[in-house]
Amino acid sequence: MMLNRLIQTNPTLSMTRASMRMWFRDRQAIFWTFFLPLVLISIFGLLDVGAFSSVDLGVVDKANNEASRKLVGDIQGLGAFDISDTGTEADERQALLEGDRNLVLIIEPGFDDSRSQADREVTVIYNQGRQQESQSGRTIIQQILDEMTFADAGVEVRYRVDAQPVDSRNLRFIDFLMPGVVAMSIMQMGLFSVAFSFVQLKSRGILRRLLATPVNPASFLFAQVITRLTVSVIQTLVLIGLAVIAFDVQLVGNLSAVLVLAVLGGGVFVSMGFAVSGWAGSEDVAAPIANIIALPMMFLSGVFFPRDAMPKSIQLVADHLPLSYLVDAIRSVAIDGESLWSQWPDVLGLTAWVVVTFLVALRLFRWE
Amino acid sequence: MTETTTSENHHGDIIQVNNLRKSYGDIVAVDGVSFSVATGEVFGILGPNGAGKTTTVEILEGMRSSDSGSALINGVDVQKHPQAVKEIIGIQLQSSSFFDRLNLVEILDVFASIYRRQIDAMEFLRQVQLADRAKALFKELSGGQKQRFSVATTLVNDPLVLFLDEPTTGLDPQARHHMWDLVKRFKDEGRTVLLTTHYMEEAEELCDRVAIMDHGKIAALDRPDTLVDALLAKGFERPRSERLATLEDVFLDLTGRALRDAGPETDGQ
């Protein structure tokens, strides 16, 4: 075959092919690179943590007459509540205490169309710990009661809010998390995959055997780097693909801009991997060093929660971590639909990190 | 006793080493070594550990620099053009490992590609009796198989000179004899072989000439027979008379000469 002949007589191509084969046959690498981030996205996608949930309202309709049914019907019609009205008052109070309800509406038996003022009162008991939800719930119920009052009194409502729905984007936690997980996976893959494989290549004498041939060390390194950068692109596509298809994450931005960022970020962490492999003589040393680099970034770079939540002094440092630049840039481009160009401070930060880590790698990396 | 004819540029000498020196700090590893190896010769370097034989060989292989002196392989200066020398030699390291997760054929292909050659990997595996393990991973091989595969990887560029560093250390007698047969075949093919060994019977069996090194210098260099004759001429007598057979002959008589490498060795890697 022509292609095979081309690869076979070109050391760089052939070593790239070999290194790709080795990478994709490494089950452990596949697990950490694809499976784990996919699980992470799936869990948070299914849990939908942090989404502004609708108000959980329990209804106890003891009156069960026309007026009470109208009230309950109007509340239901709004769609603002997650209504449960299966239980008795005792059940609902219990549910409220257990935090399963934000508020419980109790309609006493006397609630009907008789003109007695006292009869027209409903009771709302609410969860004090969920102020926001119960407050808005109470306001809505009061508003419906007001409208019923106006209707009864024959008063025409003259001031109305004309609410026009706009299909705006409601960012859920998964939308926030997905770019973070993509960036974090690129870091893990670049750093650990390079650090471990080179420490192994050295400690097992594989590099030494290679250096006994007229191989050009640069083309061997090139093959290794290209493999990792290719993986970082595939990884980005797979993770974004899952988030979009399975969890309805809206990829507003330009996908190729995200891939450019993936490659740039890959460059930083691959260089870090080379530096670690140069510094560490054995796998036992490489693992803790790589973890010391990766773990703080995982929590300080805004992968799982915004960096605004951190103390200012830590933020000052965290903002300049390479993973922070990568997370921010991917998030802005993929989710907020910003252009790659508009993210130039992050791109500049990443580029600076590529240069720095490359120079460090050049200094620390050893063939033997 | 060092050879004196090295400065003359013998036409048949494919390896020419002249006054090679290498120190590590205060330790002189190679202290003025000179010798030459004729094309097609099997040349052995013997010596106790720390004698400087590995350093000498590594300088010849272009894997290490020397402090002074020169080494030519096929007329090419190793110090100035290590890559060019590596093109025409094959190096079997004492203990080398190969890529994980690539099978034997794929590894041979990668090595051949470094020399921009397209090879029939199976043919190379057949030469070292590993054709039936073509799809195996290196780590799945037994000790003897690993050593044979390692030799196969040194052949992909059809080398003029083969460097074998302790090729039979740790092998059972069957595997050792098989390795000896391979070395004899390389000689028949017209290749030059430079090997190091700790086994004197191996040197006697294979080497046309041997250099015995100690303390970074060559203590003696000649044909094995000649060295033995010289010792006897000094009046040396072995305390016990030689028997007509050795324990190894008994061992091979009982266990046969066929290769024993059905499975991987548990103490491998």
pLDDT of the residue at B185: 95
Contact yes or no for A22 and B100 at CB 8 A:
yes
Mean pLDDT confidence for A300-304: 92
pTM: 0.78
Query: Does the pLDDT of residue B5 top 50, yes or no?
Result: no
pLDDT of the residue at B86: 96
What is the distance in angstroms between the Cα of B99 and the nearest Cα belonging to chain A? 7
pLDDT of the residue at B266: 43
DSSP H or E segment with residue B26: none
Residue bearing tokens 């965290």:
A318
Alpha-carbon distance of B135 to A10, in angstroms, equals: 23
Query: Does the pLDDT of residue A50 top 80, yes or no?
Result: no
pLDDT of the residue at A137: 82
pLDDT of the residue at B41: 96
A25: nearest CB among B91, B96, B101: B101
pLDDT of the residue at A112: 67
Alpha helices, DSSP H, located in B104-223:
104-114, 121-127, 143-154, 173-188, 200-206
Positive/negative CA dihedral, B256, B260, B266, B269: positive
Q: Running DSSP on this structure, what letter comes out for residue A157?
A: P
Indicate the domain borders of chain A: 2-48+172-364, 55-166
Query: Does the pLDDT of residue B4 top 50, yes or no?
Result: no
Nearest to B29 by CA among B232, B217, B236, B262: B217
CA B123 to chain centre: 22
Residue bearing tokens 């002074």:
B68
Provide φ and ψ at A178, rounded to 5°. -55, -50
Closest Cα in chain A to B107 = A18
**Tens digit of each residue's pLDDT (9 = 90 or more) over A56-102:** 888 888 877 887 888 888 888 877 777 876 678 888 888 888 878 88
Work out the pLDDT band at A259, boundaries 50, 70, 90.
very high
Query: Does the pLDDT of residue A157 top 80, yes or no?
Result: no
Mean pLDDT confidence for A5-20: 91
Nearest to A194 by CA among A7, A35, A351, A23: A23
Other beta carbons within 10 angstroms of residue B60's beta carbon come to: 25
CA A322 to chain centre: 18
Within an 8 Å CB–CB cutoff, is residue B88 touching chain A? no
Window B:205-264, CB contacts with A under 8 Å: none
Helix axes A173-203, A36-47, angle to 10 degrees: 170
pLDDT of the residue at A48: 62
Alpha-carbon distance of B125 to B147, in angstroms, equals: 12
| Three-state secondary structure of A330-349 | HHHHHCCCCCCHHHHHHHHH
CA A175 to chain centre: 6
Query: Does the pLDDT of residue B242 top 80, yes or no?
Result: no
Region of poorest pLDDT, from A55-59, A348-352, B55-59, B209-213: A55-59
Q: What is the percent of chain A with per-residue pLDDT over 90, rounded to a whole number?
A: 45
With contact defined as beta carbons under 8 Å apart, do A261 and A240 qualify? no
Within an 8 Å CB–CB cutoff, is residue B153 touching chain A? yes
Contact yes or no for B97 and A209 at CB 8 A:
yes
Highest mean pLDDT among A90-94, A143-147, A316-320, B234-238: A316-320
Highest mean pLDDT among A283-292, B103-112, B165-174: B103-112
More reliable by pLDDT, A337 or B89: B89
Choosing among B64, B113, B151, which should be mutated to test the A contact, i.e. which has the most A CBs within 10 A?
A: B113
Alpha-carbon distance of A264 to A258, in angstroms, equals: 10
pLDDT of the residue at A169: 62
pLDDT of the residue at A368: 74
pLDDT of the residue at B265: 45
Closest Cα in chain B to A22 = B101
Contact yes or no for B110 and A18 at CB 8 A:
yes
A11: nearest CB among B84, B116, B269: B116
For chain B, the average pLDDT equals 88
Contacts of B86 in chain A (CB under 8 A): 212-214
Work out the pLDDT band at A113, boundaries 50, 70, 90.
low
Work out the pLDDT band at A360, boundaries 50, 70, 90.
very high
ipTM of the prediction: 0.85
Closest Cα in chain A to B99 = A206
DSSP string spanning B56-97?
HHHHHTTSS--SEEEEEETTEETTT-HHHHHHHEEEE-SS--
For chain A, the average pLDDT equals 87
Within an 8 Å CB–CB cutoff, is residue B106 touching chain A? yes
pLDDT of the residue at A70: 82
Closest Cα in chain B to A368 = B63
Residue bearing tokens 């560490």:
A280
Alpha-carbon distance of A196 to A285, in angstroms, equals: 10
Alpha-carbon distance of B242 to B1, in angstroms, equals: 29
pLDDT of the residue at B2: 42
Q: Running DSSP on this structure, what letter comes out for residue A33?
A: I
Provide φ and ψ at B68, rounded to 5°. -155, 175
Mean pLDDT confidence for B135-151: 93
Within an 8 Å CB–CB cutoff, is residue B136 touching chain A? no
Work out the pLDDT band at B9, boundaries 50, 70, 90.
very low
With contact defined as beta carbons under 8 Å apart, do A117 and A111 qualify? no
For residue B259, count CB atoms less than 10 angstroms from its CB and return exposed for 0-12, middle for 13-18, buried for 19 or more.
Answer: middle
Query: Does the pLDDT of residue B241 top 50, yes or no?
Result: yes
pLDDT of the residue at A53: 57
Pair type for strands B161-165 and B89-92: parallel
CB pairs under 8 A between A and B: 77
**Distance between start and end Cα atoms, chain A:** 37
B102: nearest CB among A21, A204, A208: A21
Contacts of A6 in chain B (CB under 8 A): none
Contacts of A283 in chain B (CB under 8 A): none
Enter the tokens of residue A311: 């103390």
With contact defined as beta carbons under 8 Å apart, do B70 and B77 qualify? yes
Contacts of A200 in chain B (CB under 8 A): 100
Contact yes or no for B97 and A205 at CB 8 A:
yes
A8: nearest CB among B93, B102, B109: B109
Nearest to A318 by CA among A340, A295, A297: A297
**In this structure, which topology does domain A55-166 adopt according to CATH?**
Rossmann fold (3.40.50)
Nearest to A127 by CA among A150, A94, A175: A94
Residue A327's contacts (CB-CB under 8 Å, 6 or more residues apart) are A179, A180, A183, A184, A301, A302, A303
Q: Running DSSP on this structure, what letter comes out for residue B128?
A: T
Alpha-carbon distance of B33 to B211, in angstroms, equals: 10
Query: Does the pLDDT of residue A191 top 50, yes or no?
Result: yes
Contacts of B118 in chain A (CB under 8 A): 5, 8-9
With contact defined as beta carbons under 8 Å apart, do A261 and A330 qualify? yes
With contact defined as beta carbons under 8 Å apart, do A41 and A201 qualify? no
What is the distance in angstroms between the Cα of A296 and the nearest Cα belonging to chain B? 31
Q: What residues of A are in the B interface, CB distance below 8 Å?
A: 5, 7-11, 13-15, 18, 21-22, 25-26, 200, 204-206, 208-215
Contact yes or no for A206 and B98 at CB 8 A:
yes
pLDDT of the residue at B77: 96
What is the distance in angstroms between the Cα of B118 and the nearest Cα belonging to chain A? 6
**Residue B155: strand, helix, or coil:** coil
